[in-house]
Chains A and B, each alone.
Chain A
Amino acid sequence: MSNVHERLRRLLFLVPYVSKHPGVTVEALARALNISREDLLEELDLLTCVGRPPFNPDDYIDIYVDNDRVYVDLDQRLFAPPRLTAGEAAALAASAELLRPASGDALQSALQKLEHVLPPQVRERYREMYRKIDASTEAPQALGPLTRAILERREVMFGYASPGRAAEPRRVRPYELLSHRGQWYLQGFCHTRQDARLFRLDRMEDLTVTETPFLPPPDARADVPNPARSSSEASVRVRFSPVAAPYVKERFGQDARPLADGGVEVLVAGDSERWLTQWVLSFGGEAEVMEPVSARAAVARAARASIGL
């Protein structure tokens, strides 16, 4: 899209926004439009030149900054933003698909209302464009209650099967949901363990949202532990065949060392034997742990176990 188009969309929103929020600060307005303060002041400058013929003094948009606050005295009928374009509505609807199981009826009704406020002549184009993005990932059912619990700040209970153990009950303050490489995680404070924890949604069972309220900490962000990324503690050397090499190179980039036979070698963290074994096995024989020997043995044991040896 051209810059002119982007700019016009912004300006046609800016004037009504100020009209609705007289005295909005320059900072807040810049944030609402996701542009810098300097760019915003430039846009305001341009707007003072906008008007309609015959361009008498009262025919111009009268928008100004006073004491770092923005006001509009004459909006020249720009008191509401334009309706959503087909592209805007389609992008919004497609993004909502990301949480489809989470949203249930609310998503369906929201999309219906959205379509209703589209100008009739763009509805068909909207439907056509909506079909062009498919983000209906395999988001698990648990996203629904968990999103609600996070928004309503209520504790949740579920059974959690940690690696190698049967499910046990947990009581958790849910802070944040996060999706990483197609896998969903809940980050929160676990009462059972008295510590911050990251839970995989696919290991939860019997989820219930309790009536117990809580106050979330201001900034609760977790990173998914990714052994493939934490190269500082990388201690396990894994070698890949030429068949698997291109896929490994895609993920590791420069960290994948090329070998003479066309394969590659990488170093990964060895603190989770379970992760390492699973990962190596998922290459179905195209990966080999070179060292340490304890990790080689773990992979061998796991492979033998899966054929009943």
Chain B
Amino acid sequence: MDRTERILDLVALLLDAREPISWAELREHFPADYGGSDDAAERKFERDKAELVELGFPLTYVQGDDERRDGYIVDRDAYYLPEADLTKEELAVLYAAGSAALASGVFPGRDDLAHALRKIGFFAGESLPTPRVRMELGATQAGQEKEVSARLEQLWDACASRKWVEMSYASPKHPGTTQRKVDPYGLALRRGVWTLVGYCHLRGGLRTFHVHRVRELKANTARPRTPDFQVPEDFSLDNHVAYFPWQHRFHEPVEVVLRLSGALASRASGLFPGAVLEPVAEGGITLARLRVSFLDGLARFCLSLGADCVVEGPESARSRLREMAARVANRHADALEDKVSA
């Protein structure tokens, strides 16, 4: 019998059973499947049982007594999805986010997510709200989505089952690729880019990897149901992934004061989330105090905002921005002279 068919038969049998079903009975019911040697049959049933548990089938084995015999039994109430009584608004939020994530094509646990959306929609009938939210995630180049999506799915499985992965990684900081063995702890999305955080066996420490830079990926397939590693209790993804261009995991933060004028003054909170803002009395100017662990990143970002963004201090940050601006100006200086002389 086909394995899918056999497992569904088991589901039907167990959902209907009023008494525990013993292993001997199961063998009688499925003579062709659980026939053969005792060992082989038991191993086959163990695999089927694991699959049932994975599906959320609450199967338990009860030891019999005078009243009851030994055998397998399922807690029916724990099997069926009850109505979660989600309000229209709650359903709308879950649906909007879930379908946008699915439609982006690039979200870890896509299959899981699709099933989850179906299930929460089961009781909602036709009244499901149609969201208009679209997200482009995880891919830096058009056409890369499929590859990133496949990697995320593999990494999600590896994170969930705590199996190490082997990958070749193309860091822009070094030519070529490096081979890494990584214990995947989790996946984080920042500024539209997916990052894997995990313990890197090559570097002997926690490292982050952009998923679109992973070239080849293989998860450890040995002993699939036994985890290869433990995630430390105090581990938090958030501590290891930089949110903003002015953040760096390894550097000590310094406080930088920025002076924002013109159109930037009112946009300060959006441009520099987390900064302490202070409007200057004469108006039209906002001072932003920001903890910065990556001065070069900050300087580049400020430079791109234009002349309405000025670094007030400290001097190290001021001079870094000046150096960069001067470098750009010098490289393009002849154009200005041409223009002036013309």
Interface residues of A (CB under 8 A from B): 1, 4-9, 11-13, 16-17, 20, 32-34, 46-47, 49-54, 59, 61, 76-85, 87-92, 94-99, 102-103, 106-107, 109-110, 113-114, 116-117, 119-122, 129, 131-138, 140, 147, 150-151, 161, 163-167, 175-183, 201-203, 205, 216, 220-221, 224, 229, 246-247, 249-253, 277-285, 288-289, 293-294, 296-297, 299-309
Contacts and interface: CB of A to CB of B under 8 A. Distances in A.
A205 B82 CA distance: 43
Nearest to B117: A92
Interface string B106-122: 01111111111111101
A59 B16 CA distance: 10
16 contacts: A6-B111, A8-B8, A81-B81, A82-B80, A92-B98, A110-B94, A114-B120, A134-B187, A135-B189, A138-B243, A161-B263, A165-B263, A202-B271, A250-B172, A306-B309, A306-B321
B115 A307 contact: no
Interface stretch (B37-45, B50-58, B285-293): B50-58
A9 B154 CA distance: 19
Nearest to B235: A131
B193 interface: yes
B93 A107 contact: yes
A135 B186 CA distance: 11
Nearest to B132: A176
Interface residues of B, number: 126
Contact of B80 (A80, A121, A293): A80
Mostly, the B contact residues are helix
Contact of A98 (B86, B135, B334): B135
Contacts of B61: none
B185 A132 contact: yes
B12 A50 contact: yes
B280 interface: no
B257 interface: no
B186 A133 contact: yes
**Chain A residues touching B, majority SS:** helix
Interface of B: 2-5, 7-9, 11-13, 15-16, 29-30, 51, 54-58, 76, 78-82, 84-87, 89-94, 96-98, 100-102, 107-120, 122, 129, 131-137, 140-142, 156-157, 159-160, 172-173, 185-193, 212-213, 236-238, 241, 243-244, 262-263, 266-267, 270-271, 273, 296, 299-307, 309-310, 321-322, 324-329, 331-336, 338-339
A216 B130 CA distance: 12
Given A11-B8, A151-B131, A164-B263, A88 B339 contact: no
A83 B300 contact: no
A305 B93 contact: no
B142 A229 contact: yes
Given A12-B11, A179-B135, A132 B186 contact: yes
Given A137-B189, A179-B135, A284 B82 contact: no
